[in-house]
Structure 1
């Protein structure tokens, strides 16, 4: 009998261990509309520490001493396969090894009060990745993928990578002109509409919730939420 309790699993492995996790904010047109934010003129880049990585089945830890407003964000995660430095847009996808599902878990109260996003995005367990990496040749065009989030079985995000303001190739090129992307690095490409923070009424993840983030052609990443 297989024990499906994630807390009973002694080791859970993410499908890739990056030297850095680069993330992009406000990159979906439907998400920009729901937040009421201005449309960025260039990609909005931040980072999540690799120590925040979490595998499929691992538990997102809700530490009430740090945050009371934990949000979900399904994202297409790009895994870099070749060293990328000052890459042109037309050649950018040649540097992709594959794709996986990411959940840019965010402590919204910390994110907004700090005035920058790194701490509120980088708490331990706040970067679930998985369940697998699908190679680029199997995906083809990354700008036509459906992606969605379910919380306790309820669909809360349902969109397509067609809604990206800056596509995968543009993001790789832009980032590579500022810093080198190394093989194994992960690029989180933004989230669509449906985040709990911008719902009416506002909704935050609580211990006992189960979050499923899913992208067509890749799979479903499932993570329960537990108290610290």
Structure 2
């Protein structure tokens, strides 16, 4: 018989336990020393200052001066204006087409609108039609002598129209132009203009300016002729 030999396993070596000390050390540390907490920073000084009696009075004075200057400017503009149309020279090579303006005005006007063609020596400066209860057609010219002449036309020749066209006008004499009875007018005491007023068929016409009488009659005749189509 064979003897059966059994191998006895060797005993496992005992594993040493390593103890880990989790407790904090009381000894000195090699790290940097803790810095003390910074104190509160001083607040910047505000630029706002409470109003005082001195700066309040100064501010009120400045407001009063500004308001006074604004009132003076408004009154000056209202009294003297910003420049009359007669004082404005037309731009070079600029022309006013009175005939075209008269055609547009005729669509609204209740009277035959005058569109005179006095000649090449006359320069048309402006043309304006005002619609409403008192319709008005007004054209400004420079005469051959360089004088300013204004043609004003309304539905009838009335005292308000004469006063607006030539304030303080006084009749000097009567005359007839192109078969229409007209009157030569002289301006007021401080007005050196001369005018010619005519009562046409369904309209009133005033031509006034600093031009001589011959130039005024020339423009008036051209205006009366144009109203007859």
**Does the alignment reach a TM-score above 0.5?**
no
TM-score normalised according to structure 2 size: 0.26
Q: Taking CA–CA contacts closer than 8 Å with sequence separation of 6 or more, which of the two structures ends up with the larger relative contact order?
A: 1
TM-score normalised according to structure 1 size: 0.26
Larger radius of gyration: 2
